[in-house]
Chain A
Amino acid sequence: MKHSTFFWFFAPTGLAMLIFIAAPIASVLVQSVFTPHEPVIIEAENCGPFGCTTETTIDQDATQALRDAEPLGRFRGFDIYFDRGHLAVAEVAEAWRTSDSLGAFFGELGDLPFYRAMAFTLTYTFVCTPALIALGFVIAISVNALHRSLRGLAIFFSLLPMIVTPLVGSLILFWMIDSRGVLGTFIQYLADDPDLSIKASTPLMWIALIIYGIWSSAPFAFVVFYAGLQTVPQDTIESAKIDGASRWEQIRYIIIPHLMPLVTFVALIQLMDNFKVFEPILGFTAQAHAQSLSWIIFNDLSGETRQLSAAAATSVMTIVCVAILLSPVLIRTWRDFRGRAR
């Protein structure tokens, strides 16, 4: 295909991605180092017979002129990144100096919104991902052991938690584990504590969110592993059996090594996806107990006062984290492509 033909075929999609993905990333970078101009305030002193009062008014013309002159706003450099809502450099240094033990230091860190969100996001990402891989693997093995006629039905029901909208899925689960819901009542009965409520306890809320994360993403791992199981070489399995390998040894030494590339694939994809966790926090109304980086951005952007600069700075930091998680995927794709080209 000639360069010019390629260009015309690719132009529409390329343009869409350039304007709506590349440009916003640049825009976020720019926004995060500028803040909007404060309105220009004029102080006028009114002196009358009963003393003087100062009146402050906004000088609309001057404000407009300032905004026209520098449409991006005031240049702030990295100030926004270092303020209390983000990296909170001053507060962290202060906590480091005053706290006498590491525990106390981390306790102080937990009060800063960015670090609190980071703690939850990382916990969620690194607990969910291995757990959902393990669960997906066991489901794949069990479905594979089913009779052929039942497999379709089993796959259908297994897909549901993943296909359903994240917000809807988390609401459905939340209504059940709510202290008035059927599972919530059951947990109260098990724990023998009628006042037990997930909404009131941070650790329970974290556990609930993580369970939701596993529940909703395990089907993806399952489907990928199930497809991989169909390609396990049957003669290898049979010869291993003839050599006296137990079932566990077959899984350990044939099936798992065969699926290993898929495990890496699922792990890399899920690490990135789980890092973006956001909807379940809204669905579980867990804002008081667990925040994630994405939730902070959403919170800054919605509502009456849209704090665009604050959201932009958090966005840039999220992008950096995702880029770190993404780098192994890129290296893998690069190697793959080189391997195929050779």
Chain B
Amino acid sequence: MSSVATRKPLTVQLALSAFMIIWLIAAAFPFFWTLWGSFKVELDFFSIADWTNAIFGRNTEATFGSPFTGAGYEGAWVQEEFWRNVFNTFIVCLFVVCTSLTIGTLGGYALSRSGFKYVFWLLIIALIFRAMPQITLVSGYLPVFFHWNIWGYLPTAIIVLVAINQPFTLWMLHSFFESIPKELDESAKVDGCTQFQAFRYVIIPVMWPGVITTGLFSFLLAYNDFAVTALVLQESNRTMIPAIAAFLGTTQTEGNVMFAVAAVVSATAPLFVLVMFFQRQIVSGLTAGAVKG
């Protein structure tokens, strides 16, 4: 790696390192600051008098006798019943990922194994669908959902998210299946398998790396969604993100900003863990579309 030819002069090395440190602080500091602050009282989190209060928690100590308090979490999870929203998010994510992978795998596999011209047009249509802002789709759903009386139920939100997910899933799985040699399933067909049997016994055992990467992105879409869940679900079965948005309206007036802070930290934690374990898959998924093109 560091042969004499590629070694960098010291000043360049220093400048790059300095920039790296600044960027890493900009990227990560807000999360740690909010995590730290979520265990304080509001007067410390928003410290007007002295900003070091936010670090040492003097007001928190005066109120609770210790510089850390779980009052924000207790308020959010117990008093405001945030656990219900967490549970709803879990249900939505689970079903969205499973359904969208099931139908997306079948579709992506078919697209990669069919040499006809319409494959290209289907992919182009999927690309157009992928670009449609979700909020505009929602404004198309609402009157129909009201009319059929299916507005406000979790299954409705799940189906909508699965459908919105499909274009992206198809593109990713299509390019992944392209990389699996066609000879594999063709030889199975020569041995007398139907197309589905070839898929079932030959392709399914080797497809997991691509499916897991795609599943991660489906999960992120469902987890991070605000436009669909905020407008399609009702107050009683909200998922986390619309619930946090609703917290802002109600708690800011009651002086319970810390509930929202605790909820925000709770919603960020799973994503932290996810990136930690699946960093390589996320990076490869993000670059899959780009490096090829």
- A residues engaging B (CB < 8 A)? 1-3, 5-6, 9-10, 12-14, 16-17, 19-28, 31, 135, 138-139, 141-143, 145-146, 148, 152, 154-161, 163-168, 171-173, 175-176, 178, 180-182, 185-186, 215, 219-220, 223-224, 227-228, 231, 234, 237-238, 241-242, 247, 261-262, 265-266, 272, 275-276, 278-279, 282, 285, 294, 297-298, 300-302, 306, 308, 311-312, 314-316, 318-319, 322-323, 325-326, 329-330, 332-334, 336-337
- Whether the pair B54, A160 counts as a contact (CB closer than 8 A) is no
- Whether the pair B5, A17 counts as a contact (CB closer than 8 A) is no
**A9 to B54 Cα, complex, angstroms:** 57
Q: Enumerate chain A residues within 8 angstroms of B245, measured Cβ to Cβ.
A: 167, 282
Known: A159-B282, A294-B133. A142 touches B164 (CB 8 A): no
Q: Report 28 cross-chain contacts, Cβ distance below 8 Å, ordered by A residue.
A: A6-B116, A16-B159, A20-B164, A27-B144, A142-B16, A142-B17, A145-B17, A155-B279, A163-B282, A165-B223, A171-B248, A172-B34, A180-B48, A215-B26, A223-B286, A282-B248, A301-B142, A301-B231, A314-B139, A315-B133, A315-B135, A315-B140, A318-B133, A318-B136, A322-B131, A325-B131, A330-B128, A333-B127
Known: A155-B279, A168-B244. A23 touches B124 (CB 8 A): no
- Whether the pair A25, B137 counts as a contact (CB closer than 8 A) is yes
Distance (Å) between the CB of B15 and the closest chain A CB? 9
**A13 to B278 Cα, complex, angstroms:** 26
Could you tell me the dominant secondary structure of chain A's interface residues?
Answer: helix
Distance (Å) between the CB of A137 and the closest chain B CB? 12
Distance (Å) between the CB of B135 and the closest chain A CB? 5
Q: Does any Cβ of A come within 8 Å of B202's Cβ?
A: no
Q: Enumerate chain B residues within 8 angstroms of A241, measured Cβ to Cβ.
A: 5
Q: Does any Cβ of A come within 8 Å of B166's Cβ?
A: yes
**A319 to B278 Cα, complex, angstroms:** 34
**A141 to B13 Cα, complex, angstroms:** 11
Option from B9, B139, B144, B241 in Cβ contact (under 8 Å) with A297:
B139
- Whether the pair B133, A17 counts as a contact (CB closer than 8 A) is no
Distance (Å) between the CB of A247 and the closest chain B CB? 6
- Whether the pair A145, B13 counts as a contact (CB closer than 8 A) is yes
Distance (Å) between the CB of A109 and the closest chain B CB? 23
- Whether the pair B159, A20 counts as a contact (CB closer than 8 A) is yes
- B residues engaging A (CB < 8 A)? 1, 5-6, 8-9, 12-13, 16-17, 19-20, 23-24, 26-28, 30-31, 33-34, 37, 45-48, 51, 54, 102-104, 106-107, 109-111, 113-116, 120, 122-129, 131-144, 159-160, 162-164, 166-167, 169-170, 195-196, 220, 223-224, 226-227, 230-231, 241, 244-245, 248, 260-261, 264, 267-268, 271-272, 274-276, 279, 282-283, 286-287, 289-291, 293
Distance (Å) between the CB of B32 and the closest chain A CB? 10
**A161 (CB) vs chain B CBs: closest residue:** B27
Option from B24, B103, B143 in Cβ contact (under 8 Å) with A154:
B24
- Whether the pair A231, B291 counts as a contact (CB closer than 8 A) is yes
In the complex, given contacts A156-B276, A166-B226, A227-B287, what are 8 additional A-B residue pairs having Cβ atoms less than 8 angstroms apart? A13-B106, A13-B170, A143-B20, A161-B27, A165-B267, A276-B133, A294-B227, A302-B230
Distance (Å) between the CB of A217 and the closest chain B CB? 12
Q: Enumerate chain A residues within 8 angstroms of B114, measured Cβ to Cβ.
A: 1, 6
**A180 to B51 Cα, complex, angstroms:** 9
**A302 to B115 Cα, complex, angstroms:** 45
Q: Enumerate chain A residues within 8 angstroms of B51, measured Cβ to Cβ.
A: 182, 185-186
Distance (Å) between the CB of A67 and the closest chain B CB? 11
- Whether the pair A330, B127 counts as a contact (CB closer than 8 A) is yes
Known: A19-B163, A24-B141, A238-B5. A9 touches B107 (CB 8 A): yes
- Whether the pair A224, B290 counts as a contact (CB closer than 8 A) is yes
- Whether the pair A160, B103 counts as a contact (CB closer than 8 A) is no
Q: Enumerate chain B residues within 8 angstroms of A135, measured Cβ to Cβ.
A: 23
Option from A22, A163, A238, A319 in Cβ contact (under 8 Å) with B271:
A163
- Whether the pair A175, B19 counts as a contact (CB closer than 8 A) is no
- Whether the pair B110, A223 counts as a contact (CB closer than 8 A) is no
- Whether the pair B106, A285 counts as a contact (CB closer than 8 A) is no
Option from A21, A148, A298 in Cβ contact (under 8 Å) with B1:
A148
**A3 to B283 Cα, complex, angstroms:** 35
- Whether the pair B27, A219 counts as a contact (CB closer than 8 A) is yes
- Whether the pair A159, B110 counts as a contact (CB closer than 8 A) is no
Q: Enumerate chain B residues within 8 angstroms of A155, measured Cβ to Cβ.
A: 279, 283
- Whether the pair B275, A319 counts as a contact (CB closer than 8 A) is no
**A220 to B20 Cα, complex, angstroms:** 16
**B173 (CB) vs chain A CBs: closest residue:** A13
* Residue from A160, A234, A326 with most neighbouring chain B CB atoms (10 Å): A160
**A245 to B293 Cα, complex, angstroms:** 29
**A278 to B244 Cα, complex, angstroms:** 16
**A334 (CB) vs chain B CBs: closest residue:** B124
**A2 to B124 Cα, complex, angstroms:** 21
Q: Enumerate chain B residues within 8 angstroms of A142, measured Cβ to Cβ.
A: 16-17, 19-20, 23
**A171 to B110 Cα, complex, angstroms:** 42
Option from B23, B48, B169, B291 in Cβ contact (under 8 Å) with A139:
B23
- Whether the pair A6, B290 counts as a contact (CB closer than 8 A) is no
